[in-house]
Amino acid sequence: MYQETLDFLYSQLPQYQKEGKKAYKDSLENIQAICYLIGNPQDKLKAIHIAGTNGKGSSAHMLASILQTAGYKVGLYTSPHLVDFRERIKINGKPISEKRVIKFVNKYKEMLIDIRPSFFEWTVGLAFHEFNRQKVDIAIIETGLGGRLDSTNIITPLVSVITNIGYDHQNILGNTLKAIAKEKAGIIKDDIPVVVGETHEETASVFKKAARKKKSNIFFADKIKRDALPFTDLKGDYQDKNVATVLTTIDVLKTIGWKIGHKKINKGLLSVVGNTGLQGRWQILQEKPLIILDVAHNKAGIENALTELTSYTYKNLHIVLALSNDKDHEAIFKVLPKTATYYFCNGKNQRLLPAINLRYDAVMFALHGKHYETPMQALLKAKTKAKKKDIILVCGSNFLVGEILETKDILNPSIPQPLNLEEE
């Protein structure tokens, strides 16, 4: 019954994760209509709203972990999911039950047919409904993309958070950093404080202007002096920027009465994976050779991942790569190392650029490798080629990482590896 419910949602509704721009709505009318018919649950929630190009998922999970550790009941809405749809909607780290998904869809199916919302709009409505039904103390709400027209942008949060601005989704958000920042700044609300994770000359003025217009206090996290940042169990030095953003957000919450002690902050940051179930952020699958999964999927994200690699000692680098067809492939190819061996792969999601196209485009940038029918075939081939002191990095797409996580048991060496995997 649960799978039938998901099949209904996937088949009946436009879904950005599969269809790209044509599933994106340039209006909030649908989500407003959905929420009106289900009792406007978003108006009853205390929330933190998070937008940004990179780092918003990690930041959302860190905040959830800290607040859970401090004793609060925390709702967490993020996207996309990697393996199971229910990853998108969690309460204190536990995914929404299959029963609740089925019940909600069955109850409001007629409304769904009449309004014809996108997959994302429907999912946002489900999240708001569940968080209100379970009376969470606070909900951490991550935008899908953008901010101004994102379906989540009908909440009035306690604090708005914008992690950073980079080039991504330019076909929807604009071709300049200022244009992208303007869309992200759309989550800033009247008299609601906003935390900006990273200060950049091109975008800071956009956020300051939006904050002045909304009479919102603005805090730039990277401008706040701290003796030292606490550690987190999320791997990667690039997480330091997210930690600073999270700490600033916690500081804002404390000024309005939330009880979050220093020890709880430290403990929460060290327990993010256990408390929230976060996957795909510098996730190590095995040692010798070291296999790392990371959902970096745009130029800035992949640059962060490559910078993190410089802290490792290894002999050769193997990169399993897939990219969505709406990404700036040229910008990504320019930052990828020419000395790595590449394993380009197809995947189940129709937004992924065909691996053969990816391979031939990459050659123009002196990036060489072969292409494979599935992510796991590519990874298994990389594993056979890699020596114990090598590193295999899997990156480029949430869909790629999700498929690897879904089938990771195949990496067990007791299971015979398939032959003739390459598509010549």
Instruction: Report pLDDT for 27.
Output: 80
For residues 42 and 129, give the distance between their C-alpha atoms in angstroms, rounded to a whole number: 8
Instruction: Report pLDDT for 171.
Output: 54
For residues 274 and 253, give the distance between their C-alpha atoms in angstroms, rounded to a whole number: 23
Confirm whether pTM is higher than 0.95.
no
What is the average pLDDT score of the chain? 91
Does residue 181 sit in the same domain as residue 326?
A: no
The residue type of 6 is L
Give buried/exposed letters for 236-274 (b at 16+ CB in 10 A, else e): bebbebbbbbbbbbbbbbeeeebebeeebbebbbbbbbe
User: Which of 243, 276, 309 is at the close of a domain?
Assistant: 276
**Is the pLDDT reported for residue 418 higher than 70?**
no
Does residue 363 sit in the same domain as residue 378?
A: yes
**Is the pLDDT reported for residue 328 higher than 90?**
no
Name the 3-class secondary structure at 113.
helix
Note the pLDDT tens digit of each residue in 333-364. 999 999 999 999 999 988 899 999 999 999 99
* Comparison of pLDDT for 423 and 348, the residue scoring more: 348
Does residue 272 sit in the same domain as residue 147?
A: yes
What is the mean pLDDT of the segment spanning 121-147? 95
Tokens of 144: 């899908």
Instruction: Report pLDDT for 326.
Output: 81
Does residue 228 sit in the same domain as residue 79?
A: yes
Instruction: Report pLDDT for 111.
Output: 76
Best mean pLDDT range from 143-147, 298-302, 386-390: 386-390
Does residue 402 sit in the same domain as residue 332?
A: yes
What is the mean pLDDT of the segment spanning 191-220? 96
Does residue 341 sit in the same domain as residue 358?
A: yes
User: Which of 276, 297, 331 is at the close of a domain?
Assistant: 276
What is the mean pLDDT of the segment spanning 287-294? 96
Does residue 336 sit in the same domain as residue 248?
A: no
Instruction: Report pLDDT for 12.
Output: 62
Domain count for the chain, please give it: 2
Q: What is the CATH number of the domain that holds 301?
A: 3.90.190.20
Q: What is the CATH number of the domain that holds 186?
A: 3.40.1190.10
Domain enclosing residue 18, as ranges: 2-276
pLDDT bracket for residue 279 (50, 70, 90): very high
Strand-pairing partners, residue 371, are: 344, 423
Does residue 251 sit in the same domain as residue 331?
A: no
Instruction: Report pLDDT for 116.
Output: 82
Does residue 195 sit in the same domain as residue 335?
A: no
Does residue 234 sit in the same domain as residue 162?
A: yes
Containing 139, the helix (H) or strand (E) segment is strand 138-142
- CA–CA distances in Å: residue 99 to residues 74, 95, 104: 20, 11, 9
Length of the chain: 424
Calculate the CA dihedral of residues 208, 241, 62, 193 and round it to 10 degrees: -10
What is the mean pLDDT of the segment spanning 385-394? 97
Best mean pLDDT range from 29-33, 105-109, 178-182, 252-256: 252-256
Lowest mean pLDDT of 173-177, 381-385, 395-399, 409-413, name the range: 409-413
What is the mean pLDDT of the segment spanning 298-318? 95
Instruction: Report pLDDT for 406.
Output: 92
Tokens of 86: 């229910």
Note the pLDDT tens digit of each residue in 49-84. 999 988 999 999 999 999 999 999 999 999 999 999
Does residue 53 sit in the same domain as residue 163?
A: yes
Helix axes 119-133, 2-12, angle to 10 degrees: 140
Tokens of 44: 């009853």
User: Which of 245, 276, 307 is at the close of a domain?
Assistant: 276
Does residue 270 sit in the same domain as residue 300?
A: no
